[in-house]
Copies of this chain bind each other. A is one copy, B any other.
Amino acid sequence: MGAVATPLLASVIGLIFVVVLALDVLRKDPGNETMVRISRAIQEGARAFLKREYATVSILVLLVAILIALAPTLTRNPDLVLGWRTSVAFVVGAVVSALAGYIGMSIATRANSRTTQAAADDGVRGALGVAISAGSVMGLSVVSLALLGLAVVYWVFRVPVIVNGYAMGASLVALFARSGGGLFTKGADMAADLVGKVEANIPEDDPRNPAVIADNVGDNVGDVAGLGADLLESYVESIIASMALAAALLGIGSMASERLMTLPFYIAAAGIIASILGILFVKAVGRKNPQAALMGGTYVAAILTAVASYFIIGNLGTAFTIGGKTYGVLGPFYATLAGIASGVIIGLVSEYFTSTKYAPVKRLAEASQTGPAITVTAGTAVGMESTAVPVLVLGISIIVAHHFAGMYGVAMAAFGMLATTGMVVAVDSYGPVADNAGGIAEMAGLDPSVREITDNLDAVGNTTAAIGKGFAIGSAAFAAIGLLSAYLASASIEIADVSDPKVMAGLLVGGMLPFFFSSMLFGAVSKVAFEMIDEVRRQFREIPGLLKGEVMPDSTTCVDISTRGAIRGMMKPGIMAIVVPVIVGLYDERALAGLLIGAVVTGVVLGIQTANSGGAMDNAKKYIEEGHFGGKGSEAHKAAVVGDTVGDPLKDTVGPSINILIKLMSVISLVLAPLFVK
């Protein structure tokens, strides 16, 4: 089969599964009237947010598309390899990402009350089935649509430099999905916690709290649509980087370059099929131990992909020579393996540092007894400690992958990590569905036994979310390094020497950007939280009977505040991420190389630290709530609540957005490389 036909076929199979799984979800009982009403409020909130987000982003996409299309005219350089074709690829990439987010979220927000009802009717077995089906709709939409679009763009244009535009489109949408979603969800969450739990002393997810619906909407827009767009981007970029490197290093048209360019397509196709099998595995064995089922499915998908890669690379690959060094046929396979292995290790490290099962979180919970200051300090320290192994693993994989297949190998390692994205996103998106289901059980006043089942599923979801976050950061770093290498090759930069003052200055400034970018997001999320706090306090004060539960709160206004705050807050950091590499690139292409790698260096460390600090503080609170160190209401618990509130924007707004920052700046540089070369 051809390099286009195979991915097309796999994508179509993936999309058929999307339809089957979506129908499977929709067929389920959505529960009683209250549950349906709540679920509908969440659906409407999510839809309203997406509509507004996409409206804003599409203006930006259009603007950038016009600039790219006009670039040859504007620069009076008709030979410039930009222009309308890159522009079309760019728009397609943006549309594909937006579409995947829309589909995944539509089903996820319909699956929540159905999961609750299934928990009531059918226990763990039924609830897990609905939630994982919904997650899989997102997971398979992401990979199927991404690969479909990419294969079509590749088939139509055939020039890697043009196809790069596709990744840039996906990246732009991902930036806004991730940071916008993160701002939405944490602004609402912090306000709901601070006013509801701390001031009004009502439980989490209480229907009297006006910010609760916004918080539930946030789970979907942040953790379903945001994460999906993030991984879709990494997925596309790792394929693009492999293709661009094969083309740049081996010369377009050479037999070796043609073969190496198409390898990722075949492996991606195998990855989709492996992910489908992994999902079926979860559905088949998930009745007893949800955690084991989800992990098992992930391993099944990874192992099947690894085996398939061996045969694909062995049969369709070729020996090749880069920079005078010859690499064997199976070189890219070993590189792919290094990527898969590092993905697994990074995920496990994230679990160790953030799960209530292991020492770091238990010690953090213990430290909470000394008050909030020590909790936050110790939580920061846990995140910092957790950076060591993942970064070492990344460093080693780069050396190993390069040893076996040169720079092409580094990009293939990134791709190896991402080949099972379908499965990873499915497992990750399951979490927010389970979380929402618990919220609905609480708000609809169902029997506590139902909440117990959903809580159990949610706890599993927290662990898989932590692993997913580690995976997202690791893959973002890898993808960015792949893109960076492709940029160096495309801009014909043979050497970017660290003792070159421009490279050095670029490294320093690039290293600062993730910090500065984070400060903007922190500012924005606080602003949303402030407004929301004022509104919730106002409703408690002004709506008679609200706190007694006699009337319903005005949730729509809260959803509105989050929506407006998120859209407004994502503009400044978003524009910075787009403009800075362009300015630096126009100044000096080597300074830009330094800037990109500087941003990756601090971005990956800060990303891991924020994700794991946040995850550890969240779960330390949960551990105390399980009854340790005085349990709920104790001084330790109060301190842990402060820690959790500090950790929330760290892990769900700032950390994930950094992934996109480093990838977006790299992909912009890659696309615009022809512009920067003098």
Which residues from chain A sit less than 8 Å from chain B, CB to CB? 190, 194, 198, 367, 370-374, 376-378, 380-385, 387-388, 391-392, 394-396, 398-399, 401-403, 407, 410, 477, 481, 484-485, 488, 495-499, 501-512, 515-516, 518-520, 522-523, 525-526, 529-530, 533, 593-594, 597-598, 600-602, 604-605, 609, 642, 645-646, 649
Contact = CB atoms under 8 A, between A and B. Distances in A.
A377 B601 contact: no
Given A381-B518, A516-B384, A507 B605 contact: no
A377 B649 contact: yes
A500 B398 CA distance: 10
A536 B511 CA distance: 42
Contact of A518 (B370, B384, B488): B384
Which of A392, A507, A529 is most buried by chain B, counting CB atoms within 10 A of its CB?
A: A507
A396 B523 contact: no
A609 B515 contact: yes
Contacts of A198: 371
Q: How many copies does the complex hold?
A: 2
B601 A507 contact: yes
B646 A391 contact: no
B373 A597 contact: no
Contact of A407 (B370, B383, B499): B499
A442 B17 CA distance: 75
Contacts of A374: 190, 194, 526, 529, 645
Contacts of A382: 519
Contacts of A501: 398-399, 401-403, 407, 410
A198 to B, nearest CB: 7
B601 A384 contact: no
A371 B399 CA distance: 47
Contacts of A504: 395, 398, 481, 597
Contacts of A522: 377-378, 380-381, 384
A511 B398 contact: no
A642 B373 contact: yes
Given A376-B376, A384-B519, A519-B385, A511 B602 contact: yes
A395 B509 contact: yes
Given A506-B395, A642-B642, A485 B497 contact: no
A499 B487 CA distance: 10
A158 B403 CA distance: 43
Nearest to A481: B504
A596 to B, nearest CB: 9
A419 B373 CA distance: 39
Contacts of A496: 497-499
